[in-house]
Structure 1
Amino acid sequence: MKFALAQINTTTEVADNLEKVRTYTRDAAEAGARFVVFPEATMSAFGSGLRTIAEEHMESWRSALSELAVETGITVVVGEFATTADKVINLLAVYSPSGERSDYAKIHLYDAFGFKESDTVEAGEEPVLFTVDGEDIGLALCYDIRFPKLFAELSRRGARLTVVAASWGAGPRKAEQWEILARARALDSNMFIAALGQADPEVTGVAVPKKGPTGVGHSLVSDPLGKVLNSLDGAERLEIVELDLSAADTAAETVPVLTNAKLGY
């Protein structure tokens, strides 16, 4: 399986973010990737006015992403937002070359480190997988990575790879926690984890909103035994990844944690 991770910074300027997505998607397609993953909050960075941005741009954004997937012939996985009557929904959307669209709504909302995402965001309820070349791939968003049961469920539903898109909040040891959590989820779910976050604006110089999680970079891919296969720094970058997903089957035979699990895990 060959795919691309687009570690970028986004702002609240949707048109600028869309152009960046177009550029990186075309580069990923040219490199032979079958799908490309963008971070959480790619449509717009977290900040004030997010609901208004989502209401004004959702239709045109979705139309543009559908056209891009058809044009390039690869699947585009991208963080975006929709609205309910009084809140927004934090989505990881999947645009396929066939023109079809599906999405995952973030289940675990970021009510931690003094931030309360649930005040303005409505939580999802169901795990979601998407399919590329016959391979089922799991979806997760940011804070989800702290909850092993979601990844166990995705694995049990057939995923040998899960992508986690994030806009990880900066702070003491946060980048270290990000790496530890990605490797731990790989180990306790017998699958590959591709953890892709927003780049570090302190490195890139991109003018992101001052409030809200804006990224730390350090995206990575872990194999099912916790070995880091790909590791990025804080800069914006397109990383091409090629995996033999049969290693997940070998890991499940060698260390069958899901088969051995008790206590409802």
Structure 2
Amino acid sequence: MDVRLVQLAAGIDPAENRELVDARLGALDPGAQLVVLPEATMTDFGPTDLDLGRFAEPLDGPFVELLAGHARRLGSTIVAGTFEPSGDDLPFNTLVVVGPSGELTATYRKIHLYDSFGYRESDRLTAGELTPVTVEVADRTIGLMTCYDLRFPELGRLLVDAGADTFVIPAAWVAGEGKLHHWRTLLAARAIENTVNVVATAQGGRRYTGHSLVLDPSGSIVVEAAEGDETLSATLDPAEPGRTRATNPSLANRRIAPRGART
């Protein structure tokens, strides 16, 4: 599976962000089966007192419509981060998955809100249901996470038990002391412990770490961005997770049964 990671720095004006996304996706040639943009691509989080509900769009809104047009042109599945009305005061932090036909094929509403490092995302957003989300792309089973979800290995286990052989993780990983180390280390840990490929696209710019990454199922870095705007390319071998699991059968060797499994 050929993948593209589009690292960018979004602002808080949805129209300007659509122009940015239109330009970045418009620069891509057809051929990739999967294109991944960061968390909060539709609108950045902005200042901590910014009402994100003002910017939330329905799943048939202009941002998803823009993605759909590019998905059809490219023949690709596109994953990107939005804010979606929840029916409550606080919107969802949502990943949308748009297939090559332009149809919305899946959504994932972020489960773990970033109440950490002195910040409370739960004051601004509504958490999604505790249900792992997978989607089929080019004979791969993609498991979806968003940013802070990365710090919760149990979600990775639920995804791999649902059949995922690849994790796709859009993020807006806030910069700070030790944060890039955490980012790389946790991505590698999720790859190694679950023997999956990891495709992680982060926002860049001054506020965020950047360093979008693709990792193989042994946790080795295939390709990595720097801090600024960048588009990465990688090819994932569909047989690689199986080869890695044959050498390192840690999933098969588990003695604590997956949740819901018979013992």
TM-score with structure 1 length normalisation? 0.89
Structure 1 gaps, min length 5? 203-213
Residue 98 (structure 2) pairs with residue 77 (structure 1): no
Instruction: Show the 5 A alignment for 1:96-107.
Output: 96-101=99-104, 102-107=106-111
Residue 122 (structure 2) pairs with residue 118 (structure 1): yes
Q: Distance in 1 between matches of 2:12 and 2:58?
A: 12
Instruction: Show the 5 A alignment for 1:1-265.
Output: 1-28=1-28, 30=29, 32-47=31-46, 48-55=50-57, 59-84=61-86, 85-101=88-104, 102-124=106-128, 125-199=130-204, 201-202=205-206, 214-264=207-257
C-alpha displacement at 1:81, in angstroms? 0.8
C-alpha displacement at 1:250, in angstroms? 1.2
Q: Which amino acid aligns with 2:43?
A: S
SS in 2 for 1:258: coil
2:115 touches 2:121 (CA, 8 Å); kept in 1?
Answer: yes
Measured against aligned partners, the alpha-carbon deviations of 1:210-256 in whole angstroms (never above 9, x if no partner) come to xxxx4211111111111111111111101111121311111112112
Runs of 4+ residues over 6 Å off in structure 1: none
Q: Distance in 2 between matches of 1:258 and 1:86?
A: 41
Q: Which amino acid aligns with 1:238?
A: T
| Residue matched to 2:261 | none
C-alpha displacement at 1:264, in angstroms? 5.0
SS in 2 for 1:194: strand
Q: Which amino acid aligns with 1:171?
A: G
- Report which structure shows greater RCO (CA 8 Å, sep ≥6): 1
Distance 1:177 1:147, change over 3 A: same
TM-score with structure 2 length normalisation? 0.90
Q: Which amino acid aligns with 1:121?
A: L
C-alpha displacement at 1:3, in angstroms? 0.8
Structure 2 gaps, min length 5? 259-263
Report the count of equivalent residues.
Answer: 252
1:26 touches 1:72 (CA, 8 Å); kept in 2?
Answer: no
SS in 2 for 1:90: strand
